[in-house]
Chains A and B, each alone.
Chain A
Amino acid sequence: MQFFYNFGKYVILLTKVFSKPEKSKIYYKQTLKELINLGVNSIGIVIVISAFTGAVITLQTAYNTENPFYPRYLIGLMARDTIILEFSSTMVGLILAGKIGSNIASEIGTMRITEQIDALEIMGVNSASYLILPKIIASVLFNPLLTMISIAVGVFGGWIAGTVTGVVSSEDYIYGIQFAFIPFYVTYALIKTVFYAFVITSVSSYCGYFVRGGALEVGRSSTKAVVYSCILILLCDVILTQLILS
């Protein structure tokens, strides 16, 4: 019951978000701001996490395939596919849910409890659209770029880890990451990323937008935003994988 109530409220909020903006110039400016705030500011964390995870994936693959019958270049191939198919889209999505999601929910939640949203409404501004639409657009545009960065850095991290520890030679690894490459996997990862970006921003905004109470509730809403975003991302993952790859 509660689920349907929330889902209905979420859909109504989205219709408000996607109504015609009153002044597109201001929305454009807001979107640029959010591109920096939600996108550019996430590059660092994506690089760090991707580099290390790429390294770990390569090492684990290497140790798990220590068998003279397997050619060594398979390590590069498997690392590449793991990174593209699951890590750089879904894992990075989950990490961004933690970073962006809590950021959005607490920002909008604070604006709600300090009556800033009421102030917008009373001026005649569509607060839902003004606050949420730029965030959705910015993330949907920028997150695919983050995924690409993550893939590149992850594969590179794997190469460094593999060659430094000597589990795979540079030639084998590079041969492996080019071997039987299916470009569609990248498209698949990017499609997922776009969905995740939408889920993270809209769900977190929803959690923040309807906060009631004080600082404690804002904190709770930001936790909720992260939890719900993560669950929905995983659900999307299953559905999209079934739809796209089967």
Chain B
Amino acid sequence: MIKVDHIWKSFNRQTVLKDISVEFEKGKNNLIIGQSGSGKTVLLKSIVGLLDIDKGEVKYDDVVYSKLNFKKKKEIRKKIGMLFQGSALFDSSTVEENVIYPLNMFTNMSYEEKRERANFCLNRVNILNANQLYPSEISGGMQKRVAIARAIALNPEYLFCDEPDSGLDPITTLRINNLIKEITEEFNTITIVNTHDMNSVMEFGEKIIFIHMGQKWWEGTNKDILHTENEKLNDFVFANHMAKRLKQIK
């Protein structure tokens, strides 16, 4: 379980996260939703410790992760897989080398084993015949998928995805969401996904928190989300005309 306990984060004078508390459970798809600029990425980066929080704490199981020193954090980080909003592939390495990288760093596998594992992960995200290409030579959606392959290479216990579906077509989005769900269930990971794609929310949101202007505005499941009275959340969920009409018909 990951427990976020009253965390605050500000940059210069702007307070981005205001007193957020939430718990994320194992084997579940946890979603963080909210408008662009609401603080989703900052929240995710605070949870994984890429940003230092000002107040509060983040607990991984029983360890107060946010207060650990760099060395001890490293031990936990080896169990984290993370997909960044901009993929963050190493652009001087090929697709295959990108996926092999964490294996190189943290396992003693032979070269053959590493390649096999890398190909297995690439297969799972449906990347075929692109092993020797560089990130700049593949499309944005492919980069996302390679980044997911890299994130799952070491069988992570914690999986964080920052907008896995932005910039992807509906079919690929569905495929990636399914993949994330499968991995979550198969390896019993704690998965936290940032998104503003309502389809993903409806399909996969076993637990959803809605962030608005840096505050946790609402928390629930994909079943609750359609029936909420929360005005800001309704504005968000039923933002487009079609959704609004659907709600009226209901």
Q: Which residues of A contact B (CB under 8 A)?
A: 22-23, 26, 110-111, 114-116, 118-119, 121-126
Across the two chains, which residue of chain B brings its CB closest to A25? B104
B84 lies within 8 A of chain A by Cβ = yes
Residues of A within 8 A of B102 (CB): 123
Q: Is the pair B50, A116 in contact by a Cβ cutoff of 8 Å?
A: no
Q: Is the pair B105, A115 in contact by a Cβ cutoff of 8 Å?
A: no
Across the two chains, which residue of chain B brings its CB closest to A116? B88
B48 lies within 8 A of chain A by Cβ = yes
Residues of A within 8 A of B73 (CB): 124
Least CB distance from A213 to B in Å reads 13
Q: Is the pair B88, A22 in contact by a Cβ cutoff of 8 Å?
A: no
Q: Is the pair A115, B84 in contact by a Cβ cutoff of 8 Å?
A: yes
Q: Is the pair B91, A125 in contact by a Cβ cutoff of 8 Å?
A: no
Q: Is the pair B88, A114 in contact by a Cβ cutoff of 8 Å?
A: yes
Least CB distance from A185 to B in Å reads 40
Q: Is the pair B86, A114 in contact by a Cβ cutoff of 8 Å?
A: yes
Q: Is the pair A122, B82 in contact by a Cβ cutoff of 8 Å?
A: yes
Sorted nearest first, the 3 A-B pairs with minimum C-beta distance are A124-B77, A115-B88, A119-B88
Residues 208 to 230 of chain B near chain A (Cβ within 8 Å): none
Contact with A along B97-116 (1 / 0, CB 8 A): 00001101110000000000
Bound Cα distance A192, B146 (Å): 45
Bound Cα distance A119, B105 (Å): 13
Least CB distance from A24 to B in Å reads 12
Least CB distance from A65 to B in Å reads 51
Query: By DSSP majority rule, is chain A's interface helix, strand, loop, or mixed?
Result: helix
Residues 81 to 96 of chain B near chain A (Cβ within 8 Å): 82, 84-86, 88-91
Using a Cβ–Cβ cut-off of 8 Å, how many residues does chain B contribute to the interface with A? 24
Q: Is the pair A123, B77 in contact by a Cβ cutoff of 8 Å?
A: yes
Bound Cα distance A123, B50 (Å): 11
A124-B88 contact given A22-B105, A118-B50, CB 8 Å threshold: no
Q: Is the pair A122, B86 in contact by a Cβ cutoff of 8 Å?
A: no
- 25 A-B pairs with C-beta separation under 8 A: A22-B105, A23-B104, A23-B105, A26-B104, A26-B105, A111-B90, A114-B88, A114-B91, A115-B86, A115-B88, A116-B88, A118-B45, A118-B88, A119-B82, A119-B88, A119-B89, A122-B77, A123-B77, A123-B78, A124-B74, A124-B75, A124-B78, A124-B80, A124-B106, A126-B70
Residues of B within 8 A of A119 (CB): 82, 84, 88-90
Q: Which of B45, B86, B88 has the most CB of A within 10 A?
A: B88
Known: A114-B86, A124-B78. 9 other contacts (CB 8 A): A26-B104, A114-B91, A115-B84, A118-B88, A119-B90, A122-B48, A122-B77, A124-B73, A124-B80
Across the two chains, which residue of chain A brings its CB closest to B41? A115
Bound Cα distance A119, B73 (Å): 14
Bound Cα distance A221, B91 (Å): 20
Across the two chains, which residue of chain B brings its CB closest to A119? B88
Q: Is the pair A122, B80 in contact by a Cβ cutoff of 8 Å?
A: yes
A123-B105 contact given A115-B86, A118-B84, CB 8 Å threshold: yes
Least CB distance from B188 to A in Å reads 20
Across the two chains, which residue of chain A brings its CB closest to B85? A115
Q: Which of A22, A114, A115, A119 has the most CB of B within 10 A?
A: A119
Least CB distance from A158 to B in Å reads 40
Bound Cα distance A27, B238 (Å): 52
Bound Cα distance A200, B73 (Å): 31
Residues of B within 8 A of A118 (CB): 45, 50, 84, 88
Bound Cα distance A20, B6 (Å): 35
Contact with A along B127-146 (1 / 0, CB 8 A): 00000000000000000000
